[in-house]
Amino acid sequence: MNSTPASPIRIAAAVIFDAEGRLLLVKKRGTIFFMQPGSKLEPAETPAQTLARELREELGCTLRHAEFLGNFSAPAANEPSHIVEAQLFRAEIEGSLAIGSEIEEMLWVDPSQTGDLSLAPLTKDHILPFICGRSARSAS
């Protein structure tokens, strides 16, 4: 029995809003969970470089600006017994969105009303509460 914990999966993830304030979520091929666009960090790649690469590959758009929002950890959605450590960025993008090879579905949702969507733990337990709380604070 291996009692050594698995190394955390380090990722960069993007919070992207449209003009109506809806949040972009994606579902990767062969999975059931919706989550933020993003990916594992490659060796010698900064989180911003990871985001730029993944947004181009997965959604066909260009990263114009990335604002660091914080670090978040949660159980990995698609890799049992792993923890994902995410560096989260609010991303401004350019260009039309087009689903790339890794993405099965993308959708825009009101972040406070995700209904019956199957959400990744990071999205459900950390990112949505964070951005909804942040929106509530900026409205007051």
- The pLDDT of residue 115 is 87
Structure confidence by residue, pLDDT tens digits, 63-80: 999 999 999 999 999 888
In eight-state DSSP terms, residue 133 is: H
Superfamily of the domain at 9-139:
Nucleoside Triphosphate Pyrophosphohydrolase (3.90.79.10)
Query: What average pLDDT score do residues 38-47 get?
Result: 94
Would you call 47 helix, strand, or coil by DSSP? helix
The CA distance from 107 to 23, in Å, is: 8
**What average pLDDT score do residues 32-59 get?**
95
Tens digit of each residue's pLDDT (9 = 90 or more) over 15-37: 999 999 999 999 999 999 999 99
Q: Tell me the whole-structure pTM to 2 decimals.
A: 0.89
Query: Residue 139's pLDDT is what?
Result: 46
Residue 2 φ/ψ, nearest 5 degrees: -90, 115
- Greatest pairwise CA separation for the chain in angstroms: 53
Give domain limits for the chain.
9-139
